Amino acid sequence: MRVSWLPLLGLPLIPSVLAAPNTGSVDSFLQSIDVNANSVPASFKSRSGIDFTCAVLSILGNNGSNVGNETQYVARSNSDLYTQEAHAHWSATAWKSPSCIYAPNNLRDLRRAVLLAGFTNTKFAVRSGGHSPLSNWASIDGSLLISMTNINDLEYDEATQTQRSGMGNRWGAVYGHLVPYGRIVVGGRLNVVGLGLATGGGLSHFSNEWGWVGQNVVAYEVMLSNGSHVKASATENPDLYYAIKAGSNNFGIITHIVQRTYPMGKVWGGLMQFPGNYSKQFMAAMAEYQAKGQFDTKSAILPYVGINNDTIIATFVYLDGVVRPDAFKPFFDIPIVADYTQVFDNFYQFAQVDLPYAVPRWTYAATTLAFDSNSKETYEGLIDVFSQFKSRIQKVTGGSFAPMVQPISKSMVDKSRALGEDPMNVEAKAQLWIGINIGWSLEKDDAAVYKILQDSLAAVESYTKARKVHMPLVFLNDAWAGQKPFVSYGQQSHNKLKAASKKYDRSQMFQRLVTGGFKL
């Protein structure tokens, strides 16, 4: 595997400055990032911030360095392409109006963009897969959006059995690339999910057998705020490696991840639909599955319990060609409305099955509770807690209240810990990670929905605390913007993440200028 590190390109490392550039300093800066100073109109050289930033990036994006038909720079004036790029997220809640969008084709141009943002003190967002529905997480109003879409190279190393993937890929591209090798990585549960999942701990259909997504990354490649491109692994910059696994976008721009791969064969699974009036029976089956069936580490399940639309949609996965395996027997005793399960030749084919989102706007929040001997009653009682919000969500146009109940086995925790330190510090016991998902149709209902989200989260946590099963972990990848996942990792882990931020981002660019994401 060959990696071209940017210091070898002969470009000096440029520190960020807080003051707006004056005309005299601009030419020197442009020369330092290998941009012809005469190519930037004089009228822009006296400006600061986003005007100057977009002007320079426009030149970089139209100087013939594009590869094939890839687009590097998109301005608002290019209305059709701009709308397509600005609205690339799956949920309209994430749509914003950047002043310009820049999609570098290579590490050299990404470095220029980062140094430029630091020089002009320009706020920016970074988008890889753009899967988060949270506002400002992967886009921004009135400033710069850096899209990683063109950093999409894929390389499998047969000698080390590792996969190196550019962050512009979705998991489907990675899975498809590995099919000829009969290998798979621990990644997203759908092909359309972005690789940013690997910076938030990451829960996968493979986690029961091989652990969290982040724990299966052997190296991250990161563009730092000072323009250096570094590797973070267990042996190189190990403090940065520890932090990135569940520390999100607080340290730099992740350009590539290198992952372990595992053998992959046939997969049984797919969607099953159950009637909503069997919600309590479904939750009882979930408790029985955790007590017995989940010990079969080839099994995985992802259910959405529709509270106001009287349906339960669950994705079942079994990492073998066994049809209706015994691990899922408790669920097969419930009436099934529709069964779309089948045997797939590989996980790539399985992960093409998409979920019917139905409405364009979504949000979510996360909470955790422990599995114990009384979980059957606790899980059944959750349905009553969720149902308290049925009438409120029915007043929202297109409202859909569909909690995601994710059973976490002790095996997932043990497998993850065996691979190295886990910054999430997940307690070594069976538990349930709940994602409170709400979908709706119209922007005018945003405030009402966010209030329902907060109230329902508070109600669930009040209930789990009363039953003495509440756990403090807030799973970052499912967390609401107002939650504090890093605090939930515990003081020691939180301190290590903050220390890594100060060490590798000395200008604190990713705290000051990257406004989206959970901050340290």
Q: Residue 309's pLDDT band (boundaries 50, 70, 90)?
A: confident
Average pLDDT over residues 337-357: 90
Q: What percent of the chain has pLDDT over 70?
A: 93
Tell me, what's the pLDDT at 64? Answer: 43
Q: What is the b/e burial string over 195-212, where b = at least 16 CB atoms within 10 angstroms of the residue's CB?
A: bbbbbbbbbbbbbbbbbb
- The share of the chain scoring above pLDDT 90, in percent, equals 84
SS3 319: coil
Q: How far is CA 507 from the centre of its chain?
A: 25
In whole angstroms, what is the distance from residue 292 CA to residue 327 CA? 7
Q: Do 127 and 25 contact (CB within 8 A), yes or no?
A: no
Q: pLDDT at position 9, please?
A: 35
Annotate 94-115 with b (16+ C-beta within 10 A) or e (fewer): bbbebbbbbbbbbbbbbbbbbb
Please report the pLDDT score of residue 70 as a whole number.
64
Q: What is the mean pLDDT of residues 412-436?
A: 98
Q: Which of 227, 135, 130, 141 is nearest to 169 (CA)?
A: 130
The pLDDT value recorded for residue 4 is 36
| DSSP letter for each residue of 334-351 | S--SEE--EEESSHHHHT
Question: Which token pair is 390?
Answer: 């049925």
Second CATH level (architecture) for the domain 267-482:
3-Layer(aba) Sandwich (3.40)
Q: Is residue 15 over pLDDT 60?
A: no
Average pLDDT over residues 132-141: 94
pLDDT, position 7: 36
Read off the pTM: 0.93
Residue in the block written with tokens 């409170």? 436
Each residue's pLDDT tens digit, 40-90? 888 888 766 899 999 999 988 876 444 445 679 888 877 888 999 999 888
pLDDT in tens, 360-390: 999 999 999 999 999 999 999 999 999 999 9
Beta strand 229-233 with 262-263 is unpaired
**CB of 496 closer than 8 Å to CB of 482:** no
- For residue 42, what pLDDT is reported? 84
Mean pLDDT across the stretch 13-40? Answer: 72
Q: Is 14 a residue whose pLDDT tops 60?
A: no
* pLDDT for position 65: 47
Say if residues 221 and 205 touch (Cβ distance below 8 Å): no
Mean local confidence (pLDDT), 93-112: 95
Place of tokens 């590869």: 67
pLDDT at 19 over 90: no
Residue bearing the bigger pLDDT, 485 or 63: 485
Q: Any idea which residue has 């897969």 for tokens?
A: 129
Average pLDDT over residues 10-21: 42
Residues 302-309: what's their mean pLDDT? 95
Model confidence pLDDT, tens digit, residues 434-476 = 999 999 999 999 999 999 999 999 999 999 999 999 999 999 9
Q: Please state whether beta strands 154-157 and 162-166 pair in parallel, antiparallel, or not at all (unpaired).
A: antiparallel
| 183: pLDDT strictly greater than 90 | yes
The whole-chain average pLDDT of the chain stands at 92
| Residue with tokens 């580490």, as numbered in its chain | 297
Q: Can you point out the beta strands (E) in 397-502?
A: 400-401, 404-408, 431-440, 470-471
pLDDT of residue 24 exceeding 70, the answer is: no
> What average pLDDT does range 328-357 have in this prediction?
92
pLDDT of 77 reads 76
Q: Please give the pLDDT value at position 79.
A: 82
What is the spatial distance between Cα 154 and Cα 165, in angstroms, rounded to a whole number?
A: 5
Q: Which helix (H) or strand (E) holds 232?
A: strand 229-233
- Phi/psi class of residue 198: alpha, beta or left (left: φ > 0; alpha: ψ in -120 to 50)? alpha
The answer to whether domain 6-147 has CATH 3.30.43.10 is yes
245-279 pLDDT, tens digit per residue, is: 999 999 999 999 999 999 999 999 999 999 999 99
Residues, the chain, total?
A: 520
Name the band, by pLDDT with cuts 50, 70 and 90, for residue 202: very high
CA dist 277 and 493 (Å) reads 42
Distance CA 251, CA 308 (A): 41
**Structure tokens, 513:** 């200028």
What are the structural domain ranges in the chain?
Answer: 6-147, 154-263+489-512, 267-482
Query: Among 1-10, 277-286, 383-392, which is the least confidently predicted range?
Result: 1-10
Q: 201 in the Ramachandran plot: left (φ > 0), alpha (ψ -120 to 50) or beta?
A: left
Four-residue CA torsion sign, 302, 217, 498, 16: negative
Q: Hey, which CATH number is domain 154-263+489-512, 3.40.50.2300, 2.40.50.140, 3.30.465.10, 3.40.50.10470?
A: 3.30.465.10
Q: Which residue matches tokens 């309590």?
A: 280
Compute the distance between CA of residue 206 and CA of residue 405 in angstroms, rounded to an integer. 17
